[in-house]
Amino acid sequence: MRRTSATRTFIPQRSDRQTRRHEQRALAEARRSARAAAQPKIRRTAPQDDPELRPTYPASGRPGPASARSGRHKLPVHRMTTATAAGIYPFLAEGGLGAGGMYIGRDVHAEAEFVFDPFSLYGRVDGFTNPNVLLAGIIGMGKSALAKSIALRSIAFGYRVYVPCDPKGEWTSVASALGGRTIALGPGMPGKLNPLDAPAPPVGIDPKDWAVEVRKRRLLLLASLARTVLTRDLTPMEHTALDVALDTIVVHAEATGRVPLLGDIALLLATPDLLNDAHGDPTRRLGAAAENLAHALRRLVQGDLAGMFDAPSTVEFDPSSPILTIDLSRLGSSGDDTGLVLAMTCASAWMEAALSDPTAGRRWVIYDEAWRVLRHSFLLERMQSQWKLSRGLGIANMLVIHRLSDLLSAGDAGSRGRALAEGLLTDCSTRIVYRQEADQLAATAGLLGLTGVETQAISALNRGRGLWKVAGRSFVVQHTLHPAELQLFDTDARMHAGSL
């Protein structure tokens, strides 16, 4: 193989300039030829027939001043709206829920203000099918402060607030500060609540139709009270006994100009001859069949639960009050929730007249410490009815619990109680989760359908910070309290008593 090489040409010292230039050009040409001969030959393919596949610019880049290699190329300033920016950066700039609603706090990821109003979101946000809210969080993370803050700020929007379940009495100071009312029930308390009170009829309803509705509500309430004490369903003859006793006592009360009382019905059930006479059955078996039922109702008027439901009501339900709370802190402290459940049942029936009036405006119904009532299917049935009718009645229900597994305590898998509790969760378009313990993460993620990132986030949330799941959209919100609210909502006051 022949090799071509080039060496520096000897140039005589006395040669002229033209000769030296000629020799230098010849040397440079020889060097180029040597380098070309040393490189392997590249076989170039024919150009593509499709012009779209041909390169626009050579491999060295775009030629001319437009190549941006001079360092002097400048682009014009580009302006865009926040809506466009949210589309470009979807995980950094959340559009939020809009500006309508009460102020909650700060959206941590978007660094924006976060407002919320379930009534204004309904029909405006895709997937937001109901105004009900589930609020869960361990003790000390600020869930109670959030519930009270939402109630207080909603009143400024013209909404009313009902709290039929306040097992710790924490809402009493809130109701007092807002000009509302509190009814404290318990042994030795002056408050009395007659579950057989006939509420005022709604506007425009026929009196005869309303009388039929009142009778039906009274029967359902008596049956619920009896089932709670007996811890079982009633037999057909026991239902008949309640029916006969209620009609007899109501007729007698109307004739004497007074309201029917629970003690009157318990007395009639405990007198077999009078009950049989009222029934008109020649077999006279109804009195004997109602024996256990009579003892169950007697406990409410003369037993350990006496003093709450065996006298005319000492207060009246005022639907125009901005907030009404039922203080049940004197009940259930011994570990027996029977009194608490009975009071809840009576209070719910007492409020139903106002709640069932669609012209009464928008209202919040807040069940604080609801884990104590989730174990009783009778109450769950009433709550389910309120959840289902929330849109038509203008009611936003809020269920406040410690952990999502509290819903599983309503009964065994496949039981009616478990189905009712899980149905309440399904009918909540807004789920607010504060910090959860590590052993609760799997149950929480399973019930709410959280992603891995969301599950990890709720295990490390700080005080006052929660994960908001609103119609499938996620927000991490830091709740902001006014100093006056902070003092009013302080649930740790007893822990700080006496400290400097």
Q: What is the pLDDT of residue 434?
A: 92
Q: Which of 403, 491, 497, 390 is nearest to 146 (CA)?
A: 491
pLDDT digits (tens, 9 = 90+) for 187-214: 777 778 788 887 777 667 788 888 888 8
Q: Percent of the chain, pLDDT > 70?
A: 81
Q: CA separation (Å) from 271 to 221, 235, 288, 410?
A: 21, 19, 9, 37
Q: CA separation (Å) from 182 to 78, 170, 347?
A: 59, 11, 12
pLDDT confidence tier of residue 395, bands split at 50, 70 and 90: confident
| Ranges of H-type helices in 321-388 | 338-355, 377-388
- What integer is the mean pLDDT of 231-257? 87
Q: What is the pLDDT of residue 10?
A: 54
Contacting residues for 250 by C-beta, under 8 A, at least 6 apart: 215, 218, 260
Decide: 448 and 433 in contact? Cβ < 8 Å: yes
Per-range mean pLDDT, top range of 31-40, 233-242, 316-325, 402-411: 233-242
Q: What is the pLDDT of residue 11?
A: 53
- Mean pLDDT score of the chain: 79
- What integer is the mean pLDDT of 94-110? 79
Q: Is the pLDDT of residue 485 over 80?
A: yes
Residue 113 three-state SS: strand
Order the strands of the 112-116 sheet from edge to edge.
112-116, 102-107, 473-479, 465-470, 430-433, 133-136, 395-401, 363-367, 160-166, 323-327, 181-184
Decide: 376 and 339 in contact? Cβ < 8 Å: no
Q: What is the pLDDT of residue 382?
A: 76
Alpha-carbon distance 394 to 471, whole Å? 19
Alpha-carbon distance 374 to 379, whole Å? 8
Q: What is the pLDDT of residue 500?
A: 32
The phi and psi torsions of 391 (rounded to 5 degrees) equal -70, -45
- Residues 250-258: contacts with CB under 8 Å, at least 24 apart: 250/215, 250/218
Ranking 39-43, 60-64, 122-126 by mean pLDDT, the lowest is: 39-43
Q: What is the pLDDT of residue 411?
A: 67
First to last CA, the chain: 101
- Tokens linked to 465: 């910070």
- What integer is the mean pLDDT of 163-178? 86
Ranking 335-344, 350-359, 401-410, 469-478 by mean pLDDT, the lowest is: 350-359
- Residues 278-283: contacts with CB under 8 Å, at least 24 apart: 278/244, 278/245, 278/247, 278/248, 279/240, 279/241, 279/244
pLDDT confidence tier of residue 388, bands split at 50, 70 and 90: confident
Alpha-carbon distance 62 to 185, whole Å? 85
Q: Is the pLDDT of residue 492 over 80?
A: no
Alpha-carbon distance 92 to 89, whole Å? 5
pLDDT digits (tens, 9 = 90+) for 66-88: 665 655 656 777 788 877 766 66
Q: Is the pLDDT of residue 497 over 70?
A: no
pLDDT confidence tier of residue 496, bands split at 50, 70 and 90: very low
Q: Is the pLDDT of residue 96 over 80?
A: no
- What integer is the mean pLDDT of 386-396? 81
- What integer is the mean pLDDT of 255-277? 86
pLDDT confidence tier of residue 148, bands split at 50, 70 and 90: very high
Q: What is the pLDDT of residue 147?
A: 92
Q: What is the pLDDT of residue 87?
A: 65
Decide: 181 and 175 in contact? Cβ < 8 Å: yes
Alpha-carbon distance 148 to 185, whole Å? 21
pLDDT digits (tens, 9 = 90+) for 290-338: 888 888 888 888 877 777 777 887 777 676 788 888 888 877 655 567 7
- What integer is the mean pLDDT of 393-422? 79
Ranking 9-18, 251-260, 359-368, 470-479 by mean pLDDT, the lowest is: 9-18
Q: What is the pLDDT of residue 494?
A: 46
Question: Cα–chain-centroid distance for residue 294?
Answer: 41
Contacting residues for 490 by C-beta, under 8 A, at least 6 apart: 496
User: Amino acid identity, residue 405?
Assistant: S
Residue 88 three-state SS: helix
